[in-house]
C-alpha cells in the first residue's frame, strides 16, 4: 500500500525564519509525482510545489523549495524568509504516474508563523 | 476558468436526512476526486472517477454513501441517511492529466445534528 507520512503535526517559527516540513512516503512505483499543498484558514487547498520523481533537480518556487531524496523516499519542504501569510496547514501528497490510481495525502502539518 | 465549483458551501441537516453535495469540475479535466477532511482522520479519498467512470470507491465508508458522475461536468456525493459522524468538510477536486496536480473546490462543510 502507498502511504504518505508527515511526522510533525504542528510547528511554530518566527517571521523571517526558515522552516522545513518533513514528508516520507512508501511506494513500489518508480515513476510518480509529489506535491505540497497549502490550506490556509480560508480552507482553500492551494498547490505550492510539485516534483517529478524522474527529475534529480529539486523543484523551487520562489521562497519554497524541496529536498527530494528518492532513495530515502523523503520529500521535505523548505520555506525561506517565512511570512505571516504562510500560516496554514501543509499537506504532502503522492500520485503514481499511471493515472489509474489515487492522489494520496499525508495528515498534514499545521504551521504557525509568529510575528 | 472559474475553478472547481462546489455547492452548497455549508449544509446543516438533521440526522436521518438525505444530503446531496454537488461538484462542477474544471472543463476539460479527466479525473474527479471526492475527499473528506476531519481533524481526526485528515484528508481521506472517498472515490475518484476517470472519464466519468468510477475507478476506485474503496474509500467510501459505508453503503450510506454514493457518488455519481452522469457527465463530464457534474458529480454528486449523496449520504442517505446522514449521521452525526458524517460531519466534515467534503472536497471535490479535478485533474487534467496523468501526474497533474488536483485542483480543489472550496469544500462543503457538512454538519449533521
User: Can you give the three-state secondary structure of A17-85, one letter per residue?
Assistant: CCEEECCEEECCCCCEEEEEEEECCCCCCEEEEEEECCCCCCCEECCEEEEEECCCCEEEEEECCCCHH
pLDDT at residue A99 in the model = 56
pLDDT at residue A100 in the model = 61
Between A103 and A63, name the one with better pLDDT.
Answer: A63
Residue B82 · residue B69 · CB < 8 Å: no
Residue A34 has pLDDT above 80, yes or no: yes
pLDDT at residue A2 in the model = 82
What is the residue-averaged pLDDT of chain A? 93
pLDDT per position as a tens digit, B27-59: 999 999 999 999 888 899 999 999 999 988 999
Phi, psi of B84 (to 5 degrees): -55, -35
Query: What's the whole-number mean pLDDT along residues B57-76?
Result: 94
Number of Cβ within a 10 Å radius of residue A98? 11
**C-alpha span between A51 and B34 (Å, rounded):** 23
pLDDT at residue B61 in the model = 87
Report A:27-66 residues touching B (Cβ under 8 A).
32-33, 35, 43-45, 47, 50, 52
Contact A99 B48 (CB under 8 A): no
Per the listing, cell 480560508 goes with A42
Q: What is the DSSP letter of B100?
A: P
Q: How confident is the model at residue A101 (pLDDT cuts 50, 70, 90)?
A: low
Q: How confident is the model at residue B21 (pLDDT cuts 50, 70, 90)?
A: very high
Residues of A in contact with B43 (CB under 8 A): 91, 105, 107-108
Contact A103 B102 (CB under 8 A): yes
Q: How confident is the model at residue A14 (pLDDT cuts 50, 70, 90)?
A: very high
Classify B110 in phi/psi space as left (phi over 0), alpha (psi -120 to 50) or beta.
beta
pLDDT at residue B62 in the model = 86
pLDDT at residue A69 in the model = 96
pLDDT at residue A102 in the model = 79
Q: How confident is the model at residue B107 (pLDDT cuts 50, 70, 90)?
A: very high
Residues of B in contact with A97 (CB under 8 A): 98-99
Contact B56 A98 (CB under 8 A): no
Query: Chain centroid to CA A21: how far?
Result: 7
Question: Is the minimum CB–CB distance between A107 and chain B shorter than 8 Å?
Answer: yes
Contact A45 B91 (CB under 8 A): yes
Of the candidates B91, B93, B99, the beta carbon closest to that of A97 is on B99
pLDDT at residue B98 in the model = 63
pLDDT per position as a tens digit, B74-100: 999 999 999 999 999 999 999 987 667
Residue B72 · residue B60 · CB < 8 Å: no
Q: Could you tell me which residues are beta bridge partners of residue A94?
A: A34, A104
Strands B65-71 and B74-79: antiparallel
Contact B43 A105 (CB under 8 A): yes
Amino acid at each position: 500500500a502507498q502511504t504518505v507520512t508527515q511526522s510533525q503535526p504542528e510547528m511554530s517559527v518566527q517571521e523571517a525564519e526558515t522552516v522545513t516540513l518533513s514528508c516520507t512516503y512508501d511506494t513500489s512505483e518508480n515513476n510518480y509525482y509529489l506535491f505540497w499543498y497549502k490550506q490556509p484558514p480560508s480552507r482553500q487547498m492551494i498547490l505550492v510545489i510539485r516534483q517529478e520523481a524522474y527529475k534529480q533537480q529539486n523543484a523551487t518556487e520562489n521562497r519554497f523549495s524541496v529536498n527530494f531524496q528518492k532513495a530515502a523516499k523523503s520529500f521535505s519542504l523548505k520555506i525561506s524568509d517565512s511570512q505571516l501569510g504562510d500560516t496554514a496547514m501543509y499537506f504532502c501528497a503522492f500520485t503514481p504516474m499511471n493515472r489509474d490510481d489515487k492522489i494520496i495525502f499525508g495528515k498534514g502539518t499545521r504551521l504557525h508563523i509568529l510575528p | 476558468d472559474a475553478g472547481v465549483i462546489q455547492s452548497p458551501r455549508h449544509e446543516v441537516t438533521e440526522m436521518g436526512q438525505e444530503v446531496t453535495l454537488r461538484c462542477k469540475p474544471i472543463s476539460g479535466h479527466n479525473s474527479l476526486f471526492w475527499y473528506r477532511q476531519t481533524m481526526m482522520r485528515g484528508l481521506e479519498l472517498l472515490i475518484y472517477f476517470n472519464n466519468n467512470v468510477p475507478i476506485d470507491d474503496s474509500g467510501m465508508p459505508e453503503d450510506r454513501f454514493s457518488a455519481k458522475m452522469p457527465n463530464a461536468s457534474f458529480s454528486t456525493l449523496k449520504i442517505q441517511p446522514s449521521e452525526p459522524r458524517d460531519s466534515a468538510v467534503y472536497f471535490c477536486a479535478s485533474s487534467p492529466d496523468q501526474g497533474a496536480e488536483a485542483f480543489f473546490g472550496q469544500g462543503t462543510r457538512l454538519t449533521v445534528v
